[in-house]
Structure 1
Amino acid sequence: MSSTTLDAPLLPAARVAKVNWSVSALALAALLATPLFLGDYYLHAMVLAMIFLLPALGLNLILGYTGMLSLAQGVFFGLGAYASALMSIHFGTPFLVNFLVAGLFAGLVALPLGIPALRLRDTSFVMCTLGMVVIAQMVSKNWVDFTRGDMGLSGIARPRLGFGDTVFTVVKAPEYFYLVLALAALAVALFVALIRSPAGRCMVAIRDNETLAESLGVPTWTYKLIVFMLSAVFAGLGGSLYAHFSTVVSPLVFQSYYSNTILIIVLGGGVGRIPGAIIGSFIFVAVSEALRITPELRMIIYGFVLLGLVFLFPQGLAPLFQRAAERLARLGHEGKEKRHAA
């Protein structure tokens, strides 16, 4: 019996779609040129979109490719932010060390949480992950000696890159943009490599029919635990970027708003699809931030966007973008054939 909590039509076929490298290269080139055309405010929105891409990749891994709906991505995002902030403030460790430790810490915390939680099925598992959100909120507020409670942690160091005398501090918006873009691109590459590996095919098998996968010798519970930890690692890495970008971390980072945002990114972009989290992060986070110019209407417009998406694109926006990319590829191929014929 599959543990998925979504209707079957919302999930793609079992095969893993091929990566359209030409479209990916064009998208990356467009992103590299973005700071030349956008001001700091819009670059700020783009940076946040790429930061939230990391936990969204983790949720897409556990939901889209393993079939388990987790609401705890915001918890691991916050744990990564706090781990990175505490190391920066108390130990003065370099950014890259904080970044890696934040992901590792989130994954290690997910291990004892996942062992009992993953023995639950369907709605029970979802409720368990929701309980993790409530616990994280209470701990961050009340463990004042460690987290400073509602005052939060401030004075987090800006990222410093380099060795020896050639150390570069990331301060300006374009610098942050290129730093986060490089790390997000690396995270996407790791995500694609994972889901296209034999382990990724086992995950899809668990999603589609867990009982059948287990009968074929797939250690389903072990796979689910590993995926749960990996999804937490992605979220923790995103939390570290968020902490060093905002330089302030408070219990607000554990609010359900963050978990909901990550869930909207994945479902709106296209669950179980390679470009889903990428498309969702740029559209939903960047648009949400851009709408701050109209604070009175911001959430109303955002709500109507979500409603329109549900009715018009129930499978998310990824299929729409994929069809557009295929159409452009066909037009380009037809154009080459006409030129050769002439």
Structure 2
Amino acid sequence: MSLADTAQQIRRRDLRLPLAAILVVVALAAPFIGSRYVTHSLIIALIFMLPAHGLNLLVGYTGLLSLAQAAFFGIGAYAAGLLAVHYGTPFYVNAAAAGLLAGACALPLGIPALRLRATSFVMCTLGFVIIGQAIAKNWISVTRGDMGLSAIPKPHFALGPLSFTVSGTTSFYYMALAIGALATLAVWMIVRSPAGRNMIAIRENETLAESLGVPTWRYKLLVFIISAAFAGVGGSLYAHYLTVVSPLTFQMYYSTTMLIIVLGGGAGTISGVVFGSLLFVGLTEALRITPELRMIAYGLCLLVLVFWFKKGFAPVLNRFWDMIGGAK
């Protein structure tokens, strides 16, 4: 390695590490910088980042376009809400149960669906959302139908002698931030593992990957289950934050929002999902107080994506990161 290359790497570390530290400080100080409503918007963005991470594993890394995330998001929300209301279980039990139940539901659904191709698979996953909403509406003895579940308690933790409830907006933000960071780390570990490389091989050329000995169908089923589990945990956060769950949790708007986060942020990138969640959920939620401006801003973002950033904002973020690091 030449002296110039060594100096280049030193410059990159010197610039990127402080920038990363600034971003961490801003994330930690966000509740004290903006208003309470801005904190609320960030919480909603962090909640939707979880199912978006799961969807990115499917769409971005495995090449499977799915619209079923809202179904698993709703299953997780109802699972957490029912446990909290009827049994008073701690939040971490509800979140784990929501993820496990969503993943368990994905198993029998994914076995036949993943044998389909392209458009047929997309339509099948759309059917999951419709079926989930119909069950939530009509299984009145459990879900209370259109009335939904209400008075879901705020997240409660019981750790030995310690017992506390996360009740305020600021404290919930920090809890959601911690869970979001753990989910992001989990996705990073998955995509950097040998399994992640096999997922990318399936995305690039499934036939070739199978000829090289990769059990493609098993990998697709496993990713489908993991993706559903991420959505289920996100649903549990949603239920405990809003304290209300209804059949509207299964609406297609949520599936399309998660898909826009992934495609708009940059499919196949982790930073794109984080940025997409903040932009397409956090910003639009913050602009909810001005409905006309909100829809105009949302529409302009989509137009900019379609015409100038067809691969999402991730390539721009990567170029900016390289520029900050002094890369040539």
183-192 vs 301-310, greater mean Cα deviation: 301-310
The residue that corresponds to 2:211 in the other structure is 215
Aligned length: 313
Aligned counterpart for 2:175 among listed residues 163, 176, 179 = 179
Q: Kindly report which structure 2 residues correspond to 1:20-59, keeping only aligned pairs within 5 A, or say none.
A: 22=17, 24-59=20-55
The residue that corresponds to 1:83 in the other structure is 79
Matches of 1:75 and 1:25, distance apart in 2: 37
The residue that corresponds to 1:306 in the other structure is 302
CA drift at 1:326: 1.0
The residue that corresponds to 1:279 in the other structure is 275
- RMSD between aligned alpha carbons? 1.5
Q: SS in structure 2 opposite 1:65?
A: helix
CA drift at 1:294: 0.9
Q: SS in structure 2 opposite 1:322?
A: helix
Matches of 1:271 and 1:237, distance apart in 2: 21
CA drift at 1:166: 2.8
Matches of 1:107 and 1:238, distance apart in 2: 13
User: Are residue 268 (structure 1) and residue 264 (structure 2) matched?
Assistant: yes
307-316 vs 234-243, greater mean Cα deviation: 307-316
User: Are residue 258 (structure 1) and residue 258 (structure 2) matched?
Assistant: no
Aligned counterpart for 2:131 among listed residues 117, 129, 135 = 135
The residue that corresponds to 1:155 in the other structure is 151
The residue that corresponds to 1:235 in the other structure is 231
Contact 2:69 2:255 in 1 (8 A): yes
Matches of 2:158 and 2:129, distance apart in 1: 36
Matches of 1:108 and 1:200, distance apart in 2: 22
156-165 vs 100-109, greater mean Cα deviation: 156-165
Amino acid at match of 2:323: R
User: Are residue 119 (structure 1) and residue 123 (structure 2) matched?
Assistant: no
Amino acid at match of 2:264: G
Gapped regions of structure 2 (runs ≥ 5): 1-14
1:90-116 alpha-carbon deviations (Å, 9 max, x no partner): 111100100111001000000000000
Quickly say closer, same or farther: Cα 1:25–1:58, change in 2 above 3 A: farther
Q: SS in structure 2 opposite 1:217?
A: coil
More helix per residue: 2
Contact 2:288 2:294 in 1 (8 A): yes
CA drift at 1:162: 4.4
Matches of 1:156 and 1:164, distance apart in 2: 23
Amino acid at match of 2:40: H
CA drift at 1:301: 2.9
1:10-40 alpha-carbon deviations (Å, 9 max, x no partner): xxxxxxxxxx983554422320121221111
1:237-292 alpha-carbon deviations (Å, 9 max, x no partner): 10000000000000000000100110010011000112111010011101111111
Amino acid at match of 1:284: F
CA drift at 1:206: 0.5
Q: SS in structure 2 opposite 1:156?
A: coil
The residue that corresponds to 2:7 in the other structure is none
Quickly say closer, same or farther: Cα 1:208–1:251, change in 2 above 3 A: same
Matches of 1:27 and 1:253, distance apart in 2: 32
Matches of 2:24 and 2:207, distance apart in 1: 40
101-110 vs 165-174, greater mean Cα deviation: 165-174
User: Are residue 92 (structure 1) and residue 88 (structure 2) matched?
Assistant: yes
Gapped regions of structure 1 (runs ≥ 5): 1-19, 335-342
Question: TM-score with structure 2 length normalisation?
Answer: 0.92
285-294 vs 24-33, greater mean Cα deviation: 24-33
The residue that corresponds to 1:102 in the other structure is 98
CA drift at 1:137: 1.2
